[in-house]
Amino acid sequence: MTSTQPCDTNTTISLADRLLTLPAFAAAPINRCNLPAVILGGLTYQHCPTALHIDMVQEFHARLFTQLDGLDTPSERAQHFRQYMNSAFLLSDSEQVGFSHQNNGIRRDKADYLRLIRGWMFDANSIEAAVIKRWVESRFGLLTLNHKGVIQGVSSDEYQRYLQDYVRGLYNSNALESQLDLLYTYCQYELIRQMPKTTHLALFRGVNGLPKSNSCSQLLLNNNNSFSDARDQASIFGDHVFSANIPTTKILYFPDLLPNLLRGEREYLVIGGMVDVQWLKG
């Protein structure tokens, strides 16, 4: 039987050993959404997804989504979302949330949801990336399997380095995890507005070091991942490229969600778990 222990950022599983639910080592016992991790991280969910809701986010920010309902274009909605984020989290008035220009040392008031996404796009092992991975753990219950190396357990050096990066990224910042809650919820809103009948997107990812003996196989992804909608772009990041039908409910960010602000390489941020994939020939 093929091992399901994490290998690099992803784990390969043969079709003969298909698992419908997430392996226990990759799942937390609790989360903050409407489905347990073993379900939303499993293969069945990939093929038959249902809506994911982080607890009480849409209800708490109901006014925002009511206002968005009255705007016709994605660009108008994106501008309104940015303005709402600035207002709700006082992103342009840091002194109101306790930051002082007289403080010595590194000021953290510029750490916001945009900086987190930019940090991820620059380096998926960055401090900002650690904050996003930890957020996925908390909200969806999908454990981080790789950060600057394979995480073999809570006693491993890799896990301790991951926690250090997370704490450094979150320390003395302004509700970063709540900002990510609202970013994810807005992303899901926009996907439904722009593609109301779409449940999956065919996306591509380039990887190194994974076996490629079968054209079809199953992967256990890290809890957050970069994908592209362009095969050629994905091939830049690894020797082997696979395609996967990704549920739209697992997308945290997609290109042009916030026009002119985040210019990645047609990059999608995708929440992890197990996926059926198709390896593509070079």
Parallel, antiparallel, or unpaired for β 10-13 and 200-207? Answer: unpaired
Q: What is the pLDDT of residue 172?
A: 81
* Cα–Cα distance for residue pair 193/47, rounded to 1 Å: 22
- 134-163: per-residue pLDDT in tens? 999 999 999 999 999 999 999 999 999 999
Closest alpha carbon to 131 in 90, 180, 94, 92: 180
In the chain, the largest separation of any two C-alpha atoms, in whole Å, equals 62
- Lowest mean pLDDT of 17-21, 31-35, 198-202, 278-282, name the range: 17-21
Tell me how crowded residue 252 is: count the other CB atoms within 10 A of its CB.
21
* Per-state percent for the chain, helix, strand, coil, to nearest 5: 40, 20, 40
Mean pLDDT of 194-222: 88
Residue pair 255/79 in contact (Cβ under 8 Å)? The answer is no
Hey, what amino acid is at 27?
A: A
- 119: enclosing H helix or E strand: helix 113-122
Mean pLDDT of 179-190: 98
Q: What is the pLDDT confidence band of residue 187, given thresholds at 50, 70 and 90?
A: very high
Closest alpha carbon to 182 in 37, 94, 61: 61
pLDDT at 7 over 50: no
Mean pLDDT of 185-195: 98
Closest alpha carbon to 133 in 210, 28, 260: 28
- 78-124: per-residue pLDDT in tens? 999 999 999 999 997 555 544 455 555 445 556 899 999 999 999 99
Write out the E strands in the chain. 10-13, 200-207, 216-228, 240-247, 251-253, 267-280
How many angstroms separate the first and last alpha carbons of the chain?
Answer: 28
Q: H-type helices in 31-95, by residue range? A: 37-40, 43-47, 57-60, 62-69, 74-88
* Cα–Cα distance for residue pair 140/138, rounded to 1 Å: 6
Beta carbons within 8 Å of 118's beta carbon, 6+ residues apart: 128, 262
As a whole-number percent, the residues of the chain with pLDDT over 90 amount to 75
pLDDT at 4 over 50: no
* Cα–Cα distance for residue pair 93/15, rounded to 1 Å: 53
Residue 121 in tokens = 């796009």
